Amino acid sequence: MTRAAAIEPAIGDLTSRLAGFAGAPCSAPESVRAVARLSALDWVAVGLAGREEPVARILRDLAAEEGGTEQSSLFAAPRKAPARMAALVNGATSHALDYDDTHFAHIGHPSVAVFPAALAVAEAERASLPRMLEAALVGMELSIRVGLWLGRSHYQAGFHQTATAGAFGAAAAAARLMRLETAQTALCLGLVATRAAGLKAQFGTMGKPYHAGMAAAAGVEAAQLVRAGFIANPDALEGPFGFAATHHGAADAGAALEGLGTVWQFETVSHKFHACCHGLHAALEALRGLDVRPDTLARVVVTTHPRWMSVCNQPEPTTGLGAKFSYSAAVALHLLGHDTARLESYSDTHCADPRLIALRDLVEVVPDDTLRETEARIALHHRGGRIETAQHDLDAPLPLDAREARVAEKAKGLIGADRTEAVRALLRSDAAASELGDLIRG
Amino acid sequence: MTRAAAIEPAIGDLTSRLAGFAGAPCSAPESVRAVARLSALDWVAVGLAGREEPVARILRDLAAEEGGTEQSSLFAAPRKAPARMAALVNGATSHALDYDDTHFAHIGHPSVAVFPAALAVAEAERASLPRMLEAALVGMELSIRVGLWLGRSHYQAGFHQTATAGAFGAAAAAARLMRLETAQTALCLGLVATRAAGLKAQFGTMGKPYHAGMAAAAGVEAAQLVRAGFIANPDALEGPFGFAATHHGAADAGAALEGLGTVWQFETVSHKFHACCHGLHAALEALRGLDVRPDTLARVVVTTHPRWMSVCNQPEPTTGLGAKFSYSAAVALHLLGHDTARLESYSDTHCADPRLIALRDLVEVVPDDTLRETEARIALHHRGGRIETAQHDLDAPLPLDAREARVAEKAKGLIGADRTEAVRALLRSDAAASELGDLIRG
C-alpha cells in the first residue's frame, strides 16, 4: 500500500469520496438491493436474447479466436474467456438490442457497463453472488454519480455516458470485488479516466453496444493493473488536463456527491418493457390500462411530445424493424394481443397481416408540446361514440412489486419461464457467482 | 463489401482520403523507407531496453495470466500472445523509457503506437517484414496527419497525441496488413474514433507508456472487428459528435491532407540520442562537436531556452534519475567519457564520483529567450583563457548516413552490437515478420 498511499495527498475530494464509497460497507436498504436484483435478471434476459445479434456474434468469435485462460463466462458461448474479454463481449451483447435499463438522471445504461465487469471479476475471483450483486450496485451507483458530475454538457457535446461514466462504474465494481484499498481504487478511477471513451456519433451502428463492452473491459483491466502495482494519476478526474476539463464536463461535484452512501440514485433506474423505440413506451403503457375491444374501434388517437414525431412515427411500416419505430404498428400489435415486450412480435409477417393493417390505419398521432417527453395520452374512439382515454408518464414511480412482476414477465418472454425462475432463485441465494456464469453460457 | 460500400456516401473527405492513402500502393522513396527502418531498429532497441521497467513487467504478467492463442511476440517474453494483447504490451514496454522517437509537427511518438500494432498483425497474418515496414510507415504517416488535423488545440486541451492520433495510425497499419478494402479501412478509422483516448494528466505515471499500448491495441482490435463485419460510423472523425468536435480538434483538413501520398511528414521524425530529458539534448549535441579536454577546464557555460530552467536544471543531483534532469551532471558525464546514450551512464555511483562532482560544479546554466526551445549554446572556458563554443538546434536536419550511424550507435549501447546488426540485417531482408518477433522475444 505504501506506494499508493504516498500518492493520496494529490487526490481531489471527488475521487477520494468516490473511492471511499466504492470500498465501504454498502448501506443500501433491501428495497434498493431488490432493484439491483431486478436489473440483474433484466441484464441476463436481454443478454441472452441478444446473443444472435451480429455485434454479439462478431465479438464472441473474437473471444474464441483469442482463447486464453478460462476465467469468466460469455453469453451463449460454451468456453469461458479471460475476465477482460468476457466483460467486453458481454457488455456489447447485452446492449445489442438496446432493451436494457436506462437511468435518466445522467442518461446512461448502468447495467450493461457494470454487470459484465462485476460478473467477470466475480467469477475470476470466485466470489459469491451476493458480493457480485453488491459490487454491481455500488458500481452502477458510482457510474450515475460520475454521470451527474459530468453533467448534461458532457452528453450534449457528444459523449455516450454509458461508455464514459460507465467505465468508472465498472472499475469501481471490479476494484470492490478484488478488495482493493481505497487508495488503489482511486488509482483505478484515475487510470480509467485516461481510457473512458465513446461518441454519440456511433449511435445507430454496432459501435453503440460496443461502448458498453469497452466500458466494462476498461474497468476490469484498470483494476487488474492497479492490483499488480500500476501507478496512474488519481487526480485525473478533477485535476488539470483531467477528464472533466478535457471532456466538456460540468464538474458538478455537488450533484455527484449529494447524499452519496445514503441516497441511491440507482433506485430510479428505468426498465424497458417494450422491445421497441423508447418514444413508444409511454403510449403502450397508457394502452395497457384500457379495456381493449379492437372490433368496435373507429379511431385511435395517440398524443405525444413533438420530439418523437421524427423518431418513431412511421405510419405504414412493412418490416419488423420499422414497426419498432411506429406508433400505429405498435399500438395495433397490442390491440391484436401480441406481446410488445417480445422481440418476435415485431415481425414482417405481422406487419403484412390485414388485421394489423386495418387497425394501424385507425391510428392518428398528434404532437403536443405541453406533454413531457416521457408522457403520452391515448384515446380509443369506439363506434357509437364511446371514448376511453388513458395517460402515462414513464417517470411515475412503479411500486416494487409491480416492477418485479413486469421484469419477470419480460424475462419470461425473452428467455422462457424456467430460465427466468432459475435466475430469480439464484439471485436470492448465496451461490457462487460462477453459477450465474454457468447459466448465461448455455 | 456490399455493406461497407453502402455506407460510403456518408464518409467525409478527410476520412475518405486517409482510408484511400492507407490502402494505396506506397509511393515513399527509399530515403523515407530508410528512416522507417531506422525507427524500427530504434523501436526494437528501446523496447528491449525497457523490458524490466515496472509498467512493462506488469503488462507482460497480465498477458501471461490471460494466455491465449500464440499469434504475436512480446518483448522479452518466451510465449506469444493474441495480437491485440501483444500490441498493448509492446506499446507500453517500448514507451516505458520515453527514449523512442518523437515527431514535433503534432508532438507525438509515432513508433511506439504504430510498430506494436504492425508487428503484431504482421505476425498473425504471416506477412513479410517489407510489408510490415511499409504498413508501419503508412500508419505512422497517417498518425502524424491526424495529429496535424487535430492540431495544437487538441494537445493544449490535454490530450496525448501519441494515444489519440496514434490509435488512428495503428488502425491504418493493421487494416493495410489485413488487406482491407478502402471502405472497410474507413470503418476502422471511424471505430477507432470512438475509442482513441489518453490524457496528459497521466504524464509522470505509468499511464503515459500505457497510452502507446492502448493506441496500438485499439487499432488492432478495430481492424479485427471490421474484417469480421463490424459496422461503425465512418464519419466519426469529422462528422457531428465526431472526434474533432468532441476532442477540441482544430479540424484543419488542409494541414492534414496537404501533399498526402507525396510528401512524407514522417521523414522528419526525431530520434533521441541521449537517455535523459529532451531539454538537455541540444546542449549535449553541441558538446559533441567540441574537442573535450576536461583537465584544463575552468568553467562551462550552457545557454538554453528559459522553459527548460524549471524542467532539467538540477544543479547537484545525487541519483541517476536526477542526473537525467541536470545540465551540469549530463555535461560532466560526457566530459568524463560516459556515453549519454546509455541508460547505465545515469547512475547513483557516477553522481557520487568526485571527478564528476568537480566538473559538475564548473557548469553554469544561463537562460536566453532569443534561443528556440530546440537550441542550445555551450562555451568551454579553459584555464589560460581559451574558449571553445558550439551551438546546436535539434530541428536541424541530420544527413541520413549520420542518422543511421547515430541510431546504430544508440542501439548498440542498449542491446549490444550483435543484436543490433542482426536487427539491421533482418530489416533489409525479405524475411517473415515472425523473424523479427523471434528476435524481440528473448
Of the residues A55, A233, A235, A243, the best mutation for testing chain B's interface (the one with the most B CB atoms within 10 Å of its CB) is A233
Q: What does the pLDDT look like over A400-422, one tens digit per residue?
A: 999 999 999 999 999 999 999 99
Q: Which pLDDT value is given to residue A301?
A: 97
User: A137 to chain B nearest CA, in Å?
Assistant: 26
pLDDT of B3 reads 36
CATH number of A278-393, picked from 3.30.1330.120, 3.90.700.10, 1.10.8.350, 3.40.50.150: 3.30.1330.120
Mean local confidence (pLDDT), B321-350: 95
| Per-residue pLDDT at A251 exceeds 50 | yes
Q: Helix or strand or coil: residue B199? A: strand
Compute the average pLDDT of residues B227-247: 94
pLDDT in tens, B87-116: 999 999 999 999 999 998 998 999 999 999
In angstroms, the Cα distances linking B131 to A182, B43, B176 are 48, 17, 9
Looking at beta carbons, which residues of chain A come within 8 Å of B84?
A: 66
CA B25 to CA B79: how far, in whole Å?
Answer: 34
Buried residues in A374-404 as b, exposed as e (16+ CB within 10 A):
bbbbbbbbeeeeeebebbbebeeeeeeeebb
Q: DSSP letters of A180-242?
A: --HHHHHHHHHHHHTT---BGGGTTSTHHHHHHHHHHHHHHHHHHHHHTT----TTTTTSTT-
The residue of A199, A225, A243 whose CB has the most chain B CBs within 10 angstroms, and thus the best one to mutate to test that interface, is A199
CB of B61 within 8 Å of any CB in chain A? yes
Q: Does A243 touch chain B (CB under 8 A)?
A: yes
Closest CA to A29 of A400, A442, A429: A400
Mean residue pLDDT of chain B comes to 95
List, by residue range, all CATH 3.30.1330.120 domains of chain A.
Answer: 278-393
Q: Coil, helix or strand for B302?
A: strand
Write the pLDDT tens digit of every residue in A56-67: 999 999 999 999
Give the pLDDT score at B1.
Answer: 29
CA-CA-CA-CA dihedral for A395, A401, A403, A409, to nearest 10:
-150
Place B276 in a pLDDT band, splitting at 50, 70 and 90.
very high
- Yes or no, beta carbons of A194 and B198 under 8 Å apart: yes
Total residues belonging to chain B: 442
- Asked if the Cβ–Cβ distance from B197 to A195 is below 8 Å, we say yes
Please state, rounded to an integer, the average pLDDT across all residues of chain A. 94
Return the percentage of chain B with pLDDT > 70, whole number.
Answer: 98
pLDDT band per the 50, 70, 90 thresholds, residue A9: very low
For A183-192, A242-251, B285-294, B295-304, which range has the lowest pLDDT when averaged over its residues?
B285-294
Average pLDDT over residues B410-429: 97
CB contact under 8 A, B158 and A55: no
- Model confidence band, residue A310 (pLDDT cutoffs 50, 70, 90): confident
- Which pairing describes strands B297-304 and B375-382: parallel, antiparallel, or unpaired? antiparallel
In this complex, is the C-beta atom of A306 within 8 Å of any C-beta atom belonging to chain B?
no
pLDDT above 50: residue A132: yes
pLDDT of res. B190? 97
pTM here? 0.94
Find chain A residues with C-beta within 8 A of B207's C-beta: 190-191, 194, 232-233, 236
Domain with CATH 1.10.4100.10 in chain B: 2-270+400-441
Residue in chain A nearest B65 by alpha carbon: A69
The secondary structure element, H or E, covering residue B389 is strand B387-393
Closest-CA residue of A relative to B58 is A228
Instruction: Tell me whether A196 touches chain B (CB under 8 Å).
Output: yes
By C-alpha distance, the chain B residue nearest A85 is: B66
In this prediction, residue A104 has a pLDDT band, given cuts at 50, 70 and 90, of: confident
pLDDT tens digits, A254-293:
989 999 999 999 999 999 999 999 899 999 999 998 988 8
A196–B228 C-beta distance less than 8 A? no
Question: Which residues in chain A are contacts of B62 at CB distance < 8 A?
Answer: 221, 224-225, 228
The pLDDT, as a whole number, for residue B291 is 80
Query: Residue A397: which pLDDT band, with cuts at 50, 70 and 90?
Result: confident
Let me know: does A117 contact A87? Beta carbons within 8 Å: yes
Report how many Cβ contacts below 8 Å link chain A to chain B: 177
Cβ contact B233–A68 (<8 Å): no
What is the pLDDT at residue B395?
86
In the predicted model, is pLDDT for residue A22 greater than 60? Answer: yes
Report residue B10's pLDDT band, with 50, 70 and 90 as the boundaries: low
Of B194, B202, B204, which has the smallest distance from its Cβ to A199's Cβ? B194
Does residue A436 carry a pLDDT above 90?
yes
The answer to whether B240 contacts A158, with C-beta atoms less than 8 Å apart, is yes
| pLDDT greater than 80 at residue A5 | no
CA distance A81 to A66: 9
* pLDDT bracket for residue A240 (50, 70, 90): confident
Q: According to the CATH classification, is domain A2-270+400-441 in 1.10.4100.10?
A: yes
Per-residue pLDDT, averaged over B65-93, amounts to 98
For A398, residues 6+ apart whose C-beta sits below 8 A from its C-beta are A406
CA distances from A224 to B15, B50, B298, B332, B336 (A): 35, 21, 55, 43, 45
Beta bridge partners of A72: A81
Say what the ipTM of the complex is: 0.93
- Asked if pLDDT for residue B8 goes beyond 70, the answer is no
Confidence band (pLDDT; 50, 70, 90) for A3?
Answer: very low
Percentage of chain A beyond pLDDT 90 is 91
> pLDDT tens digits, residue range A346-382?
999 999 999 999 999 999 999 999 999 999 999 999 9
B84 interface with A at CB cutoff 8 Å = yes
pLDDT at A40: 98
B242 in contact with chain A, both atoms CB, cutoff 8 A? yes
What average pLDDT does the segment A97-102 reach? 95
Q: CA A264, CA A261: separation in Å to the nearest integer? A: 7
pLDDT of residue A442: 80
Q: For residue A227, which residues of chain B lie inside 8 Å, CB to CB? A: none
Residue B341 cell numbers, joined: 546514450
